[in-house]
Amino acid sequence: QQKVQQSPESLIVPEGGMASLNCTSSDRNVDYFWWYRQHSGKSPKMLMSIFSNGEKEEGRFTVHLNKASLHTSLHIRDSQPSDSALYLCAADTNAYKVIFGKGTHLHVLP
Amino acid sequence: NSKVIQTPRYLVKGQGQKAKMRCIPEKGHPVVFWYQQNKNNEFKFLINFQNQEVLQQIDMTEKRFSAECPSNSPCSLEIQSSEAGDSALYLCASSLSGRGYAEQFFGPGTRLTVL
């Protein structure tokens, strides 16, 4: 069964620092990776998606994808306390089913 | 902002009781997903629909869970005989496509507590 592994489980960074989150799929048929952010008590909201090898940047957020290793990473520069949340990685394998990882809890300390 | 509507926001049931929750997808979104998020924040895909047809569902859904998306009515997820382990946040999401290239927009969820 396809799995999406995220690391670390929890991450603490100082305000203004760089947060780096990782995600790997065990299924070679992955077409798309998604990154979602879920603040405590709220529903998940999409941050970015990526399906091509390389890098994609939107503001303070950068996503990398290495399709050969099925690994994606999310980097948040100049982290803010409002970035503190659960970050979820999801993968789609052309099967109309999106699998989510267990998430990384990010804590940005002021 | 997402316009997916889920009702009720909170649901409390006794073991063995039926639990039913509803979802109205964003206008124009033909695909609806149901997920279960447990107290450890772990997501589990349950089922998804395109219009009224089931695209995918997991084995668990086929046993005690039932879901439908009738035309011109809210989608619904029903647990026939609730168990303590069913206590979770049930999230509905809608999308333009069942494929991963289409963003999923989530509703606020229904938090089910089974006593």
| Inter-chain CB proximity B35 and A46 less than 8 Å | no
Q: What is the pLDDT of residues A53-89, one digit of tens each?
A: 899 999 999 999 998 999 999 999 999 999 999 999 9
Q: What is the pLDDT of residue A45?
A: 92
- Token digits of residue B47: 């089922």
A18 touches chain B (CB under 8 A): no
Q: What is the pLDDT of residue A1?
A: 62
Q: What is the pLDDT of residue B61?
A: 63
Q: What is the pLDDT of residue B2?
A: 66
Q: What is the pLDDT of residue B15?
A: 96
A108 — pLDDT class (breaks 50, 70, 90): very high
Q: What is the pLDDT of residues B58-83, one digit of tens each?
A: 776 668 898 999 988 999 999 999 99
Q: What is the pLDDT of residue B55?
A: 84
* Closest Cα in chain A, distance from residue B18 (Å): 24
Sheet holding A54-58, edge to edge: A4-7, A19-25, A71-76, A61-66, A54-58
| Inter-chain CB proximity A43 and B109 less than 8 Å | yes
Query: Among candidates B82, B76, B73, which has minimal Cα distance to B14?
Result: B82
Q: What is the mean pLDDT of residues B89-96?
A: 94
Q: What is the pLDDT of residue B1?
A: 65
A92 — pLDDT class (breaks 50, 70, 90): confident
Q: Who has greater pLDDT, B51 or A85? A: A85
| Inter-chain CB proximity A98 and B100 less than 8 Å | yes
Q: What is the mean pLDDT of residues B105-110?
A: 95
* Closest Cα in chain B, distance from residue A42 (Å): 7
Please say whether the beta carbons of B58 and B15 come within 8 A. no
Q: What is the pLDDT of residue B100?
A: 64
pLDDT at A3 over 90: no
Q: How many CB pairs under 8 A join A and B?
A: 65
Q: Kindly report the average pLDDT of chain A as a whole number.
A: 91
Q: What is the pLDDT of residue A7?
A: 96
Query: Among candidates B83, B41, B76, B31, which has minimal Cα distance to B60?
Result: B83
